[in-house]
Amino acid sequence: MCMKSVSSKNILKKCLIYQQLPLAVFLLCYSIFLKVLLYNYAMLSIIYALVLALLIALFATQNTGPVMIKLLPLTFFSVPTYVLVIVSMIVGLLIGSIFHLTKSLGTFIALKRKDALINKSRNENIAKDEVIRNLEEENARLKSEEAISVKPRLSI
């Protein structure tokens, strides 16, 4: 109910109307926090990493029970739940990173091809500009020769 408004003043007002003071205080502090850290991305990423590490530590301390890993008829071994979840998360991150790197590499190669095409076109334009300049010089020279060879005749 409190999340529909965009302005932090409106959020505070609506939350106070619905008697949700803790939520109002949290949302107000969060909006101020984001405004302060908006210009400092490095600090924001460090804070997010710390929050993530805190959540992982909390998860690890709460889920220490053993889990049997089975694949088809094979049973591998028993590990704590948090190890299984964290390893699965790391494997997912690695697979996602591989996909991201292949996409980035493809983009890099496409940009290099386009840069080569741009340089080739630029060199062709330079050569054509040189030809145009030479033709203009020749045209000017021919006009001046024509003007010299054609003398006006005086009639008496």
Q: Considering the domain boundaries, does residue 118 fall inside one?
A: no
Q: Considering the domain boundaries, does residue 3 fall inside one?
A: yes
Q: Considering the domain boundaries, does residue 6 fall inside one?
A: yes
pTM for the model stands at 0.47
Tens digit of pLDDT for each residue in 7-32?
Answer: 656 655 665 565 555 666 666 667 76
CA distances 56 to 9, 61, 90, Å, are 34, 9, 12
Q: Which residues of the chain have pLDDT under 50?
A: 1-5
Full residue range of the structural domain in which residue 12 is found: 1-30
Number of domains present in the structure of the chain: 1
Q: What is the spatial distance between Cα 92 and Cα 148, in angstroms, rounded to a whole number?
A: 83
